Structure 1
Amino acid sequence: MKSIVSKFLSESTTSLNKTEAINITKRENGKINLDKNALEKVLGNEKVAEYPVAIYSVAGPFRTGKSFLLNLFVRYFERRGTIESVPPPLDPNDEEPLTGPFKFKGGASEGCTEGIWITKEPFIISTKNKKTVALFLMDTQGAFDHKASIKESSILFALSLLLSSYQFFNLKTSIDSLHLQALGNFAEYAQNVRDTKSGFLFQKFMFLIRDWKMIEDHKHGLYGGKRYLNTVLDGDDGADENVKTNKFLKENFSELLCYLWPSPAPKIEGMGKTSKVCHMKDVGFEFLKKASEFFHYLCFENENKNLMVKREGAEELNCRKLYEFASHFADVINQGSIDTVESYFEESYNLKLCRN
């Protein structure tokens, strides 16, 4: 086993454009659910099955740049020399096309990602305390597009939330009450699937606010995001539904965070269906700077203490154990014994507003 692991570490995803992603969902009989066989190929791989696992998953409305951001994350990791080293910052003069395992296109009216995609092999991180962690990146189909019903969106987000150790919710320009209500309803559905009331149900959750322009109020980054999130969640003038959602989020996630992003660049925002692939040099300098700081914070800052390994209560899960948990969740969803949040949406707000 040791020789297999050593060989895997030497071949780990560290070179340009080597990373691949696989869809771990499938549609059968008009329903969407986890593809256990596909997930087993990822988490059941004997080369990493016993490693502590971290899954960083990005979800949120469609056309908000989730896949683009994840591809930048991949590029950042691919700049490493070894699994012990910290990647250098993203290079604004890099002339390589910004390709990656997660498909994306700018300026289009429809989402690109369908289902849930995860890196086929993990990025291996050797921490300062000599722990070897398998980190997977995961991309989730955008909510509120024309390809997925409310029922499908609730299932996809629930799977993303249940699998992830760090869940990111990607939004453009701000957090509004409609998105908060949607998030609360999605999380409540995931809570029912998980079926436990003990301790925090989920781990860390971070809002990613793209194209943040009100820097005179809150500066880009984590500190400005924390101050902005406090104004959103702790305000006195919210509607009753928002107060309920805010309370639910605070009680069920171990920590709520927010990161404020600048705009990537006019060239990136204006990419259309017929546009050529973008290049790293087309991405704005400030955006790349914040991206490098953000990725470093999540994985390497403070001697890897922010690296979020998947847990079940106090137990730290390895890849194999997470697969067993995920299989159980998939069975619960597939049996159809848990109501979806469709009725919540119909009662709480007009979906057309969320799609605009």
Structure 2
Amino acid sequence: MAAESPVSEPMCLIENSQEKGLVVRQEALQVLSEITQPVVVVAIAGLYRTGKSYLMNRLARERRGFSLGSTVQSQTKGIWMWCLPHPCQPGHTLVLLDTEGLADVDKGDTQNDTWIFVLAVLLSSTLVYNSKGTIDQEAMNKLHYVLKLTELVKLKAAPQSSEDELKDSDKFVLFFPTFVWAVRDFTLQLRRNGQPISEDEYLENALKLKAGTSPEIQSYNQPRECIRQFFPGRKCFTFCPPANWRDMEHLEELQDDEIDPEFQKQVENFCIHIWKTSPPKSVPGGHIITGILLGKLSVTYVEAIRSGAVPCVESAVLALATVQNTAAVTEAATLYQGLMAQRVKLPTETLEELLELHSQCEREMLELFMARAFEDDIKTFQTQLLRQVQEIKEKFLKDNEQASREKCEAALRDLSQDTERQIRAGVYRGPGGYDRLCKDHQRFMTRYQALPGKGVKAQAVLLEFLQRRKILIENILTTDPSLTEEEKKMRSTEMQNTLAEMKRRVQRMEETERKQQLKNNARSLEENANWLRKKLKLSCETHLQEHDKMIKLKSEEEDALRREGFYEKAEHMHTVQIKLEEEKISIWKRFIRWIKEVVTDIFYW
């Protein structure tokens, strides 16, 4: 399955059974592994038999897909997914997650419900909570799962070392999904104090806190505080009953004219909002999740739950980094090899030409790698990439020399054919033979030097050719009766000097090429270091932006609490903001330390 052709029907992503517990299905992982696009993940959670699957089918622009069921028995077990081309965001895949109904009397396992809710929160970029009736205290009590999030989700792997540190839950706003409350079978008028209000205002009014410290008031406030602090991006949709209660049993089979027009309009508004505003799934550090990474994320969280541990976001990101960085190394090395194969026409005229092409391809390769890679342990993976590229480059260098050698040897064989025939025929044996040989020899050498495209071994191969002919030429020289012994000695010395000068010239060229390679290697190391610096700087800026976002959201909540008269809670929000500002200084210090390490390590790659 190509990334552009996601799954055409729902399939189970996380199986949930009494025998096995939670298990990620391999077939689903295979599907996700073939989706290389960013994914927008919309999950729905809520009590069983509240019509969650119907909304998800409409988000898929289908009447059927996720099982609706028509009895009091829950149809969806575990978490099912449906991967579709995104209707509003080209180049993205829409992943719909339909979760099994909460509070199913047949299960009798509230802990199981809690883990399903936790997974829906951790895997989605938008979480739809589906309920019936109104947003009253009973509805809040049924959403008690949000109270468990502080206990069942960790941000950092290491235990908290100081009471002065921020709690993980203070940073949930950084990676929790946007929250949409879908209120089904809503029959009230949206009015407050005689004035019309919006659905969002209805939700915000329902989330207001009560003053007091009694256990009853604390129980009232706790779920509201969690929603306000964990899910700053909130939206509400109310839906009137779609049809009469008898027709509700087969809602997916009803035609449009059998469904309440107001309900149809409400569903359309809901879908358009989800399609247009749901962001791609991301994790702390600003990393956008693809289908491949969503599969790995699912496995990491489920394995933590199965082991009895608490899902940890930091550990999950590290696991994703290993997967992503490994893939980034492979993809970048493949790109480099492909670009070199496409652009390098062997043999190149000079080594400099080949090294320049290498530099161009390396820059494009590094751009790809840095765009794909996570900053976690990036130096290790960049070093692996650098070594792979060096091996590929060395092979191109050897192949370039071999191609040049083969072309030059073929040219010399072709150009020297006439001379070789005359030597075998004894034409140069006799008076004046040596001078005739020298003229003929010079003529084909001139033609050889004029040939284009001989490559980097042109002079070395010519020298080897002349050295092989030296004995034959000297034999013709010594047997030429027209030359005196003194002339023969002088001509022999001239030939020796010519070869010696040629050898020195070849050695100088080889030394120049060696220096060019050393210079190119140094440039390559500096190029790698520069790209790494840019990547780490961007990472630092992203983390600072994330902190600024958290500070802004905490400030908004502080203002809301002050307006409502909860000054002590507002002061706590203010303290959280101060600690987040202090953490920004730590981020800068870590960035400076990273840069120093890069400068030091560059000489040891």
Q: Does TM, scored on the shorter chain, surpass 0.5?
A: yes
1:105 and 2:69 aligned: yes
Q: Is the 8 A contact 1:158 1:187 kept in 2?
A: no
SS in 1 for 2:249: coil
Structure 2 partner of 1:312:
283
Q: CA deviation at 1:71?
A: 1.8
Partners of 2:246 and 2:217 lie apart in 1 by 36
Q: CA deviation at 1:322?
A: 2.2
Q: Is the 8 A contact 2:243 2:258 kept in 1?
A: yes
Residue 205 to residue 42, structure 1, CA distance change in 2 (3 Å): farther
Alignment deviations for residues 124-163 of structure 1 (CA, whole Å, 9 cap, x no partner): 3463xxx511111111111111232212111211111111
Q: Is the 8 A contact 1:58 1:66 kept in 2?
A: yes
Structure 1 partner of 2:86:
124
1:324 and 2:286 aligned: no
Structure 2 partner of 1:343:
none
Residue 126 to residue 279, structure 1, CA distance change in 2 (3 Å): closer
Alignment deviations for residues 160-218 of structure 1 (CA, whole Å, 9 cap, x no partner): 11111100110111123344244343463476244442452412011100111112527
1:40 and 2:40 aligned: no
Q: Is the 8 A contact 2:43 2:99 kept in 1?
A: yes
Q: CA deviation at 1:64?
A: 0.8
Partners of 1:199 and 1:216 lie apart in 2 by 31
1:242 and 2:228 aligned: no
Q: CA deviation at 1:312?
A: 0.7
1:55 and 2:41 aligned: yes
Structure 2 partner of 1:66:
52
Structure 2 partner of 1:345:
none
1:271 and 2:243 aligned: no
Residue 12 to residue 280, structure 1, CA distance change in 2 (3 Å): farther
Structure 1 partner of 2:115:
155
Partners of 2:21 and 2:150 lie apart in 1 by 15
Alignment deviations for residues 298-347 of structure 1 (CA, whole Å, 9 cap, x no partner): 223xxxxx1321111222222222222222111110001349xxxxxxxx
Bigger relative contact order, structure 1 or 2, given CA contacts below 8 A and separation 6+?
A: 1
1:168 and 2:128 aligned: yes
Residue 178 to residue 335, structure 1, CA distance change in 2 (3 Å): farther
Q: Is the 8 A contact 1:267 1:282 kept in 2?
A: no
Q: Is the 8 A contact 2:13 2:24 kept in 1?
A: yes
Aligned mate of 1:333, from 300, 305, 309 = 305
Count of residues in correspondence between the two structures: 287
Partners of 1:261 and 1:217 lie apart in 2 by 16
2:104 maps to amino acid:
D
Q: CA deviation at 1:12?
A: 6.0
Structure 2 partner of 1:83:
none
Q: Is the 8 A contact 1:25 1:32 kept in 2?
A: no
Residue 151 to residue 31, structure 1, CA distance change in 2 (3 Å): farther
Structure 2 partner of 1:213:
187
Partners of 2:264 and 2:18 lie apart in 1 by 43
1:232 and 2:218 aligned: no
- Specify the structure having the higher radius of gyration (Cα): 2
Structure 2 partner of 1:342:
none
Partners of 1:216 and 1:193 lie apart in 2 by 35
Aligned mate of 1:256, from 214, 234, 242 = 234
Q: Is the 8 A contact 2:54 2:252 kept in 1?
A: no
Partners of 1:261 and 1:29 lie apart in 2 by 34
Gaps of 5+ in 1: 14-18, 79-97, 301-305, 340-356
Partners of 2:252 and 2:146 lie apart in 1 by 35
Q: Is the 8 A contact 1:126 1:132 kept in 2?
A: no
1:298 and 2:274 aligned: yes
2:210 maps to amino acid:
D
Alignment deviations for residues 53-103 of structure 1 (CA, whole Å, 9 cap, x no partner): 11111110011111112222222xx6xxxxxxxxxxxxxxxxxxx4x1111
Partners of 1:34 and 1:187 lie apart in 2 by 25
Partners of 1:323 and 1:211 lie apart in 2 by 35
Structure 2 partner of 1:137:
96
Normalising by structure 2, we get a TM-score of: 0.44
Q: Is the 8 A contact 1:158 1:190 kept in 2?
A: no
SS in 1 for 2:22: strand
Q: CA deviation at 1:31?
A: 4.7
Residue 123 to residue 157, structure 1, CA distance change in 2 (3 Å): same
Structure 2 partner of 1:25:
14
Aligned mate of 2:265, from 273, 284, 289 = 289
Residue 72 to residue 160, structure 1, CA distance change in 2 (3 Å): same
Which structure shows the bigger proportion of residues in strand conformation? 1
SS in 2 for 1:122: strand
Identity over aligned residues, as a percent? 21
2:53 maps to amino acid:
S
Residue 36 to residue 260, structure 1, CA distance change in 2 (3 Å): same
SS in 1 for 2:143: helix
Partners of 1:168 and 1:235 lie apart in 2 by 22
Which structure shows the bigger proportion of residues in helix conformation? 2
Q: Is the 8 A contact 2:45 2:100 kept in 1?
A: yes
Normalising by structure 1, we get a TM-score of: 0.72
Partners of 1:165 and 1:246 lie apart in 2 by 21
Partners of 1:208 and 1:276 lie apart in 2 by 19
Residue 179 to residue 216, structure 1, CA distance change in 2 (3 Å): closer
Q: Is the 8 A contact 2:15 2:25 kept in 1?
A: no
